[in-house]
Structure 1
Amino acid sequence: MNLPDTVRSYLDQRQLPYRTMACPSGETLGQVATRLDLPLRRMVRIVLLKDSSGLVMAILPGSHILDFSMLCQALRRDLAPLYGAETIRFFQNRGCKAGSYPPLHEAFGIPALADDGLILADEDEIYFDGGSGDTLIGMRNVDFRSLLGRARWEHFAVPVDDLDSLLSQQAITPQNLTSLTNRYTPAGLREGIEAITELPVMPQTVQQILMLRAHLTTNAQDILRIVEQDPSLAAQVVYWARSPLHGHPVAVDSLQTAIEQVLGVDNTLNLLLGSSMSQTFRIPADGPVGLKAFWRHSIYCASLVSELAKLLPESVDVKPELAYLCGLLHDFGYLVLGHVFPARFFLFNRFLAVNRHVPVSAIERYVLGTEHWHIGAWLMHSWSMPEEVIAAVRWHHHEDCTQPHAAYSNLVLIANRLLHYIGIGDEESSRLPALAMFTLGIGHDQAMAALTQVQASMQALDTLSEALQLPSEG
């Protein structure tokens, strides 16, 4: 638990008592609080903000959401948050681990605004990120307030519980959604999809995997050359292969065994592609469309699509391994939106959690400014993904799709409708689409039998989805 030099020297200089606690790396503040049995109310989080005058660090309780209307009114500045790579670079350039953000504004030489929700009893312990990625710092509240002596204290955040109560009681109309979204979203990011000026660059690993998928002669040795360069990917491949889902009779003790004897080349490439792509995006783990729910739904959908593909007559031209990939990636737009618009994505998850009766598409349009299939298809096209995948991402909510490669989007649509029966995914109906079923030649009883097959493997599928959530090292 070695603290970054910037953090350690600053704390030593201030000569205030503190203790360090080991915490899991790669987890959200909420996950760390749960794992260590600490009140989220006493966990400190930060948001870096900027305008033409420079940077400001907003410091608030982990249990609160930042209210941009209150913040901008307090400072009389039109501040917008730094997102993704900008925030990571700021702290990395000052010696911190990627994704680790200590709330020590003076140590980093920027002004701060602290929310009065952090004012607790003097002896109450408060906890914050130590900057090393695996260390939490605990100190008395009175000492923490002393660290923030030069910060400006204001009220600019509200407890999530209060927000949930408001969302539960207020009628959900387009006007109300827009009003609430504007309150918790920085003004410069209210234009919706037009605010996304560019998408993240495709990672090199993804490029390599796509090149392998394009070659019919790709074998296990080709995959090994990529995977062996990245220990985290290598560990994931072995982990996937050891899943009971594959029923391998003997221990999987090597990458080659995992690829050649258990997963197969196509399945390995698909899982590596999904995992490597998702590492580009940072979104919360929890929530109805957080990373946990995203991968669970994606894995179930991909598995069910595979079962449905087995039922297709020879006249339907569908490649099984490509159908699996379509199921795996069809909701990727959520990752993009969560990465680019974290404040709105947090709010979107809160809306969904307390308004299950409202169509997801309606909340998407008014809170996020677009729907996930729109931005997802844009990403897939930008990253030169197969046309079949782009079609599945773009059309998987459309019942009457007759576009090129509609067979793939129809398979995903049917799979999502079936998953509604077991409470997985964002489809609002379990009614199987008649036209899609007819054009694919799948009967109702066959579809339900495919769902039963997937249900029989739920424990193994859950294990696989958890493996895909593992963070990349480095």
Structure 2
Amino acid sequence: MGIAQRVREHLAHQGVAYRVVGHRGAESLEEAARRIGAPAWAVARAVLLCDAAGERWLAVLPLDHAIDFTALDRLTGRALKPVSPQAQREAFPDCAPASVPPLAAPYGLPAVVDRSLARVVAVYLEGGDGQALVGMAGEDFRRLHAAALWGDFARPIDNLGEAALGALAPAEEHRTRIERIYELPELSGQARAIRDLASGPGAARALTRLLEDDPLLTAQVVGCAALFIGRERGAAASVGEAVEEVLGFELARAIALGFSAGRGFDVPAEGPLGTRALWRHATYSAALVHALALSVPETHRPAPGLAYLAGLIHDFGFLLLGHLFRPEFYLLNKLKAARPETPVTVLEHQVLGMGEARHCLRCGHGEFGAFLMRAWRMPEPIITATRRHHDPGYAGADAVCANLVLIADQLLDSVADEEAPPLDASVLARWGLDRDQVLAVRERVLAEGGSLLDAVAAQLVA
């Protein structure tokens, strides 16, 4: 347990004594360190980087530090950026997808190590299987990195103010940054076909035929259908039953469209903004927005499919950010993990409103996601919900879906802390809702669908 084969063989060959400490499947390195009682400054983490020519380097730094890309570029003499998750999997073939051991030699990589690790007496690191950390003496860790380039390129996250954050993003020409905005992931042919299906006689059957060609998407839609089936009935026997008898065409299309559209991104799974957390939040938010919409008076009630889709894809701006702007996403993801109590919109202002990135990202993931939704020709209520879901004051066109997503996010954000959610009374009143009513909806959704939603979210990340 805890050690990939190449790492185990390398440690044995170097004669390094170590111990393996299980962390019971923590979902992040930060959580793993907390579970075993290791201080973050003593945990070495690795980030796989590459330059414009495709040469890969392994950056090794303390868990509670963030890469200063400007300093790293000066130290190495090259412009390095985080690689895609697919490239990471290829570089570490015997490791779990999100586990990167901070040992370059077993994988034939050059390494650059932050000098702060030279002072650590006992070091903990990932061993490769995502289930345990490996502890060793600091002198052994440094001996393993004798051939690495050592220098100062990481900054303690707790000491970073807004001005200091400005130095962490890599410099890049303004024109190039703007041009990259147009390298948007295309909506897949499957997703376009689902989007363009018109309601009417035969629509449900046409959607069923599309889904039957994709076993994974079929399983995801059938899994979601279980949320809408009474306990006495049991699961849908087929995707046709799920579409035609349980969900109905509009809701089934929304579910299939959201899941299919999310496949075109190459974004890390780990971290509070990674795909594992994002899809879990998305599936819960979609179920909750759909349920909240049913409580809105009929004169203002959005179509069930629109409500569900708004909840499901309102955070796709994060996927686009991670896909196109990996250094900024890396830093934002790292900061959110270190400062979970700080709203992500505040962190975005610090990270995305600085340097060259400000010209195309300064409005944050909402505006960025809305740009994508418009390029994909999504319905206007979806574009509005993506853009406005953090704005309680928005009461303009198509406000209902945006406001319901805001309420759902507030309800979900308070679950983990077991605190009373800070719901905006004016937003609730705008749609004929009250606090007790929406809290009851949340409790019902969590009680009846929690395990099913977790299972669907896990399928989306696999």
TM range (shorter): 0.7 to 0.9
Shift of 1:381: 2.9
CA shift digits 1:21-72 (9 cap, x unpaired): 8888894333444566765543532241426695432112333222334434
- Tell me, yes or no, if structure 1 residue 109 matches structure 2 residue 108: yes
- Tell me, yes or no, if structure 1 residue 140 matches structure 2 residue 136: yes
Assess if the C-alpha contact under 8 Å between 1:302 and 1:327 holds in 2: yes
Equivalent residue in structure 2 for 1:432, among 426, 435, 445: 426
Residues of 2 paired with 1:2 and 1:429: CA distance? 43
Q: How many residues align?
A: 439
Deviates more, 1:180-189 or 1:149-158: 180-189
Assess if the C-alpha contact under 8 Å between 2:66 and 2:155 holds in 1: yes
Shift of 1:217: 1.9
Show the counterpart of 2:58.
Answer: 57
Residues of 2 paired with 1:418 and 1:204: CA distance? 31
Equivalent residue in structure 2 for 1:337, among 321, 324, 332: 321
Shift of 1:376: 0.5
Shift of 1:114: 0.9
Show the counterpart of 2:147.
Answer: 150
Deviates more, 1:210-219 or 1:19-28: 19-28
TM-score by length of 1: 0.71
Residues of 1 paired with 2:136 and 2:287: CA distance? 49
Q: Which amino acid aligns with 2:293?
A: L
The structure-2 alpha-carbon separation of the partners of 1:238 and 1:418, relative to structure 1 and needing over 3 Å to count, comes to: closer
CA shift digits 1:113-158 (9 cap, x unpaired): 1123434666x4633242xx55657352343332212012223323
Residues of 2 paired with 1:53 and 1:106: CA distance? 18
Percent of paired sites with the same residue: 24
Q: Which runs of 5+ in 2 are unaligned?
A: 355-360, 416-420
Residues of 2 paired with 1:327 and 1:473: CA distance? 18
The structure-2 alpha-carbon separation of the partners of 1:265 and 1:193, relative to structure 1 and needing over 3 Å to count, comes to: farther
- 1:9-48 → structure 2 map (5 Å cutoff): 10=10, 13-14=13-14, 16=16, 27-33=27-33, 40=40, 41-48=42-49
Residues of 2 paired with 1:330 and 1:45: CA distance? 31
- 1:37-436 → structure 2 map (5 Å cutoff): 40=40, 41-50=42-51, 54-73=55-74, 75=75, 77=77, 79-85=79-85, 87-88=87-88, 91=91, 98-119=97-118, 124=122, 126-130=124-128, 138=134, 140-141=136-137, 142-160=139-157, 162-163=158-159, 167=161, 177=162, 179-188=163-172, 194=178, 196=181, 198-202=183-187, 206-207=191-192, 209-210=194-195, 217-219=203-205, 221-222=208-209, 225-228=212-215, 230=216, 236-237=220-221, 240-241=224-225, 247-252=230-235, 254-256=237-239, 263=247, 266-278=250-262, 280-283=265-268, 286-287=271-272, 292=277, 295-296=280-281, 299-300=284-285, 303-304=288-289, 306-308=291-293, 311-313=296-298, 318-339=302-323, 340=325, 341-346=328-333, 349=336, 353=340, 355=342, 362-363=349-350, 366=353, 369-396=362-389, 397=391, 399=393, 406-407=397-398, 409-413=399-403, 416=406, 420=410, 430-432=424-426
Assess if the C-alpha contact under 8 Å between 1:294 and 1:331 holds in 2: no
Q: Which amino acid aligns with 2:313?
A: L
Q: Which amino acid aligns with 1:127?
A: L
The structure-2 alpha-carbon separation of the partners of 1:98 and 1:308, relative to structure 1 and needing over 3 Å to count, comes to: closer
Q: Which amino acid aligns with 2:68?
A: D
Assess if the C-alpha contact under 8 Å between 2:4 and 2:127 holds in 1: no
Residues of 1 paired with 2:275 and 2:82: CA distance? 20
Show the counterpart of 2:357.
Answer: none
Residues of 1 paired with 2:256 and 2:24: CA distance? 24
Shift of 1:372: 1.7
TM-score by length of 2: 0.72
Residues of 1 paired with 2:247 and 2:111: CA distance? 51
The structure-2 alpha-carbon separation of the partners of 1:262 and 1:372, relative to structure 1 and needing over 3 Å to count, comes to: same
Assess if the C-alpha contact under 8 Å between 2:411 and 2:439 holds in 1: no
CA shift digits 1:352-385 (9 cap, x unpaired): 6455598677557625533222210222233343
Q: Which amino acid aligns with 1:105?
A: A
Q: Which amino acid aligns with 1:345?
A: L
Q: Which amino acid aligns with 2:310?
A: C
Shift of 1:302: 5.5
Shift of 1:346: 2.7
Q: Which runs of 5+ in 1 are unaligned?
A: 168-176
Assess if the C-alpha contact under 8 Å between 1:72 and 1:79 holds in 2: yes
Question: Root-mean-square deviation (CA), in Å?
Answer: 4.8
Determine helix, strand or coil for the equivalent of 1:454: helix
Residues of 2 paired with 1:342 and 1:290: CA distance? 12
Determine helix, strand or coil for the equivalent of 2:353: helix
Determine helix, strand or coil for the equivalent of 1:457: helix
Q: Which amino acid aligns with 1:153?
A: W
Assess if the C-alpha contact under 8 Å between 2:68 and 2:168 holds in 1: yes
Residues of 1 paired with 2:4 and 2:259: CA distance? 29
